[in-house]
Amino acid sequence: MKRFGPAAMLPVRDPFRLDLTAQALRRIGSNVVDVFEEGTYYRALRAGGRTTMLAIRSHGSDGIEVRCTAGDPLAYAVTVERLLGTRVDLSEWFLRARRIVWLRAVAERLCGVKPPRYPTLWEACVNAIVFQQISIYAAAAIMRRVVERLGEAVRVRSVACVAFPPPRRWLECDDELLLSGGLSRNKVAHLRSAAEAALDGRLDEAELARLPTPLAAARLSEIRGIGPWSAAVILLRGLGRLDIFPLRDSGVARSLALLAGDAHVDQADLLERLGPVRGMLYYHLLLGRLSTLNDDAVRGGAPDGGSNQRKDRQPAHLQRDSSGPLRRRNDADVDQ
């Protein structure tokens, strides 16, 4: 039976809230890859021929406590810092946000959220493609079903995580397995194209990291199924580029209206004023939308445990990859 070993302490750059950052990473409570329960963030990682589960808790205001089921937790320090953005300096964000009246209030309420990143660029690509042009609820349900079919499950006592499946698993499985999870045929083709790019070197994180953001976005858009919106999400959630913002998303307009209240918001002007930290707006809009789903962490209360067994509140007939009343229009990312 797997169990967690001794804890190691990692420093964080203040302010930091684990609950908000984990929520920004996992989006919906049914996420089985990123799990948050009773103040602890869990994640299963595959490395060195074995699968390890990490357990991360806040430790006062100056650090986090990391445990793992195999090996030295300090060996995962770089991955943890990447996942949770613990060392990111957001002073520029706070400086710019406080100059915008309505955004200042939002930034103060969500103070402590850091920009999370997926542990691999591949995982960022999959999430961007799956979440194209459908509601967050439907996409999260599809992602869960497919990941459970392809990934390796790890359980420690009552907590279960699924290690995100590597690109080869997506290439080698039958189409029917992916289709039965709710993916459209176009998205299956796009995911396989991205998997091929990850394996043949066209999707190379080190190479993209050396490019300025506009060139990196253009390089990503060369992969079938990745358009401007998806490229922006991949750079933000995969490379931690805060100087980019996913445009042409009708959900952004709804979120801005929700958070800004009566204030008129010119989106182009807002992004210009936020400059090199405009990507943090994405996370604040996301958490602002999620706050309407009765999430205690986002509202500022105590974390509710966020069981990974909780069902999404989205009606069952919308839990599929199809257009409907909650369809989100991003850009021409799909069907190309």
Quick one: which H or E segment has residue 56?
Answer: strand 50-59
Task: Give per-residue pLDDT as tens, 140-184.
Answer: 999 999 999 999 999 999 999 999 999 999 999 999 999 999 999
Task: Give per-residue pLDDT as tens, 88-124.
Answer: 999 999 999 999 999 999 999 999 999 999 999 999 9
Q: How confident is the model at residue 76 (pLDDT cuts 50, 70, 90)?
A: very high
Give 109's contacts (C-beta < 8 A, 6+ positions apart): 300
Asked if 311 and 44 touch (Cβ cutoff 8 Å), the reply is: no
332/262: higher pLDDT: 262
Alpha carbon distance 5, 155 (integer Å): 15
pLDDT of residue 335: 29
Global model pTM greater than 0.75: yes
Task: Give per-residue pLDDT as tens, 304-328.
Answer: 333 333 333 333 333 344 433 333 3
Quick one: which H or E segment has residue 28?
Answer: none
State both tokens at 312.
């999404």
pLDDT at residue 217 above 80?
yes
Residue 239 dihedral angles phi and psi, to the nearest 5°: -110, -5
pLDDT at residue 131 above 70?
yes
119-150: string of b/e by CB count within 10 Å (b at 16+)? bbbbbbbbbbbbbbbbbbbbbbbbbbbbbeeb
β partners of residue 148: none
Q: For the chain, report the end-to-end CA distance as a whole number of angstroms.
A: 47
Q: What percentage of the chain reaches a pLDDT higher than 90?
A: 74
| Distances from the Cα of 324 to the Cα of 130, 132, 248, 316, angstroms | 16, 13, 18, 12
Strand, coil or helix: what is 269? helix
CA atoms within a 13 Å half-sphere pointing along the CA-CB vector of 40: 17
Fold that domain 1-87 belongs to in CATH: TATA-Binding Protein (3.30.310)
Tokens 């509202």 label which residue?
299
pLDDT of residue 8: 96
pLDDT, mean over the chain: 87
